[in-house]
Amino acid sequence: MTEAREHLNELDIATYLGRRMPRSERDRVEDHLAQCDACRETVVETRRLAGGHSWGRKIAVPLAVAAAASVLFLVVPVGERPVTRELAAAMPLASYSPAGTVPRNDLRFIWGSAENADIYRVSLSTPDGTLLWSTEGTDTVAVLPDSVSLIPGTALVWFADAVLKDGTQRSTGLQRITLK
């Protein structure tokens, strides 16, 4: 860990929030931010004030994908405070199963593959964010073990993430299901 004494300039901050930094540079900036109260406050406030201007990358995607994708607003209660999440059209990982109302037995999670994926992680949570189960591996299928006990009629949320070799991530986003 370096002694990161010099403050970040505005261009560093804007580039960092634009999510376009190479990994090594991002590490340098985040190393500094962890140690510098002033710069961290500037980054947090800039992100808050700039709002959606720097959120999500403007990545060129094939026209068919762009036409098929849509921006969704999903309200998910987290603890006491509801939050809204915008599903970025440019970064989805396809989710195939489960969906809707599903039986507990043989609960199998299936999602799409991502190019240059290093590892996949899948998680199952309650709607308030309590993690029930998580696993990771190189396959795009995972089966919930019998040892994880769930209550019929419960609403749950699952999502899968692909961690790419360059350190970035793609996600299925939150997938709501209900147990039969």
Partner 1 sequence: MVAAFPLDLLKLLKASDSSAKEAAWDQLISSHSRLLMSVARSLGGDHDAAMDRYAYVLGKLRESDFRRLRAFDSSRGAAFSTWLVATARNLCLDHHRSIFGRNRATHTQGIEGVLAAARRALNDAFGSDLPVDADLIEDESVSVEATTTARHRNACLRLEVESLTPRERLLITLRFRDDLSAARIAQVLGLPTPFHVYRQLHSILEHLRKGLERRGIESPDD
Query: Which residues of the shown chain bind partner 1 in the complex (CB under 8 A)?
Result: 1, 3-5, 7, 10-11, 13-15, 17-21, 26-28, 30-50, 53-55, 57-59, 76, 78, 81, 83, 85, 88, 91, 121, 123, 125, 129, 131, 134, 157, 159, 161, 169, 171, 173-174
Judged by CB, which is closer to partner 1: 102, or 136? 136
Give me the least distance between CB of 105 and partner 1, in Å please: 25
Task: Count the neighbouring beta carbons within 10 Å of the beta carbon of residue 21.
Answer: 16
Rounded CA-CA distance 179/116 in Å is: 33
3-class DSSP state of 30:
helix
Q: Within the chain, how many helices (H) and strands (E) appear?
A: 4, 11
**Measured from the CB of residue 139, what is the shortest distance to partner 1 in angstroms?**
19
Toward partner 1, which CB reaches closer, 78 or 103? 78
Of 23 and 180, the one with the shorter C-beta distance to partner 1 is: 23
Are 135 and 108 in contact by the 8 Å Cβ rule? The answer is no
- Give residue for tokens 């994880």: 148
Q: How far is the CB of 179 from partner 1 (least distance, A)?
A: 19
What is the C-alpha separation between 156 and 129, in angstroms, rounded? Answer: 10
Residue 49 or residue 63: which is nearer to partner 1 going by CB?
49
Q: Provide the minimum distance between the beta carbon of 152 and partner 1 in the complex, in angstroms, as a whole number.
A: 23
User: 7 vs 180, which CB is nearer to partner 1?
Assistant: 7
- DSSP letter for each residue of 154-173: -EEEEEEEEEETTS-EEE--
